[in-house]
């Protein structure tokens, strides 16, 4: 072959579609079949709805169906471990949350996998803002009132959670730490019963996702005491943050991100992240996330990984100081 013909061939290959080049080289183009996103939690939660919304918009961008499958159990670790053991080819993914990725490793002593080593972050696309809810019968107006009451009655007040090791649990423990109080943890098997018992006054505090508490607040059965986020929530524009009330370290939310099995090729991760970035930059996607009660985010793999490392260190300290554990 003459040098001129070699140059023409090289130029033609450079302009060819990536999938075609890979096929010519004997590699499988990506994606080559439907994708499966495992949600390691029951249907109906905000993270489940957010995953389905992302899948709906991601399918046409990738040119393949994107199927969402719920596999709950063990605080999310059952489904996450299954994905961590899957082939690292980008066709099986999992929805990760702060409770699963940055809190779980410090609570579960006998995990058969490492969420931060056996899973690789692809994209963080939503955050569920948290807030304090208390029974109106307590007559509190601000978080300072709650702190004063808890200090006046040490050990007499309690807080509910959706279970040992959940984000609501660690949020309550963090409040004890930063406010210098001692409220007693009361775990429930799910957030619905926990919130209902707070509404009746049987328990005195619930720190949880704003969307899950909106109905009880609107019905007059729960009362807000502040948002545990860096900024005010669009859902509660008039409700101050904890930082605005003098507790800047009391920042808690639950993020939602997509993760792949460890060892997934960098090219596949870049393709996924790039397509998700395009989806998340649309006004329509942000609007739809808002309707779910979630704040749309657009955080790529490198920054996502750094945030996971920082948050993991922080929750490790909260777990250590509080003595929280899950058998």
Helices and strands, number each (H, E), in the chain: 13, 10
Q: Kindly compute the dihedral angle of the four CA atoms of residues 127, 131, 133, 136, in this order, to the nearest 10 degrees.
A: -130
The confidence score (pLDDT) of residue 44 equals 86
Domains and CATH numbers, the chain: 33-128+253-322 (3.40.190.150), 129-227 (3.40.190.10)
pLDDT confidence bin for 327, thresholds 50/70/90: low
- Bridge partners for 97 per DSSP: 256
Rounded Cα distance between 89 and 91, Å, is 6
Decide: residue 327, CB within 10 A, 0-12 exposed, 13-18 middle, 19+ buried: exposed
Cα 252 from Cα 310, distance rounded (Å): 14
Q: Of 168 and 9, which is predicted with more confidence?
A: 168
pLDDT value at 298 more than 70: yes
Structure tokens at 222: 């729960």
Residues 254, 315, 308: CA angle, nearest 5 degrees:
65
- The secondary structure of residue 33, as a DSSP letter, is S
CA distance 185 to 68: 34
HSE (side-chain half, CA atoms, 13 Å) at 210:
27
Residues 6+ apart with CB under 8 A from 138: 146, 149, 201, 204, 223
Cβ atoms within 10 Å of 126's Cβ, excluding its own = 29
Strand partners, 129: 253
Q: Write the DSSP symbol of residue 110.
A: T
Q: Which of 66-70, 105-109, 268-272 is predicted with the least confidence, judged by mean pLDDT? A: 105-109
pTM: 0.86
Q: Where are the beta strands (DSSP E) in 276-322?
A: 295-299
> Are 220 and 234 a contacting pair, CB within 8 Å?
no
- Mean pLDDT, residues 88-111 taken together: 94
Stretch 276-294: mean pLDDT: 93
Residue for token digits 């399918």? 59
* Bridge partners for 70 per DSSP: 39
Name every residue whose Cβ is closer than 8 Å to that of residue 39 and which is 6 or more positions away in sequence.
47, 48, 51, 68, 69, 70, 71, 79, 94, 95
Locate 82 and state its tokens. Answer: 């299954």
Percent of the residues in the chain that have a pLDDT greater than 90, as a whole number: 79
Q: Which of 155, 172, 138, 144 is nearest to 247 (CA)?
A: 144
CA angle 165, 167, 171 (to 5 degrees): 105
Is 324 within 8 Å of 165 (Cβ atoms)?
A: yes
Q: Please determine, for residue 76, whether its predicted confidence score (pLDDT) is greater than 70.
A: yes
Portion of the chain with pLDDT greater than 70, in percent? 91
Q: How many CB atoms lie within 10 A of CB 302?
A: 10
Mean pLDDT, to the nearest integer, of 235-246?
93
pLDDT, tens only, 5-44 = 444 333 333 433 444 334 333 357 899 999 999 999 999 8
């Amino acid at each position: 072959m003459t040098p001129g013909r070699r140059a023409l061939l090289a130029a033609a290959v450079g302009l060819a579609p990536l999938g075609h080049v890979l096929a010519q080289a004997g590699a499988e183009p990506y994606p080559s079949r439907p994708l499966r996103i495992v949600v390691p939690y029951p249907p109906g939660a905000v993270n489940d709805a957010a995953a389905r919304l992302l899948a709906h918009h991601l399918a046409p961008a990738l040119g393949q169906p994107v199927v969402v499958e719920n596999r709950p159990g063990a605080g999310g670790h059952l489904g996450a471990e299954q994905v961590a053991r899957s082939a690292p080819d980008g066709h099986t993914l999992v929805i990760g949350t702060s409770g699963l990725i940055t809190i779980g490793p410090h609570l579960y002593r006998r995990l058969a996998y490492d969420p931060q080593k056996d899973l690789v972050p692809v994209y963080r696309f939503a955050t569920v803002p948290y807030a304090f809810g208390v029974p109106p019968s307590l007559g509190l107006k601000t978080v300072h009132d709650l702190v004063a009451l808890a200090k006046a009655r040490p050990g007499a007040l309690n807080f509910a959670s959706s279970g040992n090791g959940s984000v609501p649990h660690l949020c309550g423990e963090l409040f004890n730490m930063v406010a210098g109080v001692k409220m007693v943890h009361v775990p429930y098997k799910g957030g619905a019963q926990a919130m209902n018992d707070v509404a009746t006054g049987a328990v005195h505090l619930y720190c949880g996702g704003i969307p899950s508490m909106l109905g009880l607040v609107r019905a007059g059965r729960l009362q807000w005491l502040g948002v545990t986020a860096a900024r005010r929530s669009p859902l509660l524009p008039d409700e101050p943050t904890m930082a605005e009330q003098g507790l800047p370290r009391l920042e808690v939310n639950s993020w939602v991100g997509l993760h792949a099995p460890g060892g997934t090729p960098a090219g596949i991760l870049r393709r996924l992240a790039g397509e998700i970035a395009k989806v998340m930059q649309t006004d329509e996607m942000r609007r739809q996330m808002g309707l779910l009660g979630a704040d749309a985010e657009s955080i790529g793999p490198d920054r996502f990984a750094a945030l996971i490392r920082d948050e993991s260190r922080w929750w490790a300290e909260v777990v250590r100081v509080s003595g929280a554990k899950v058998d």
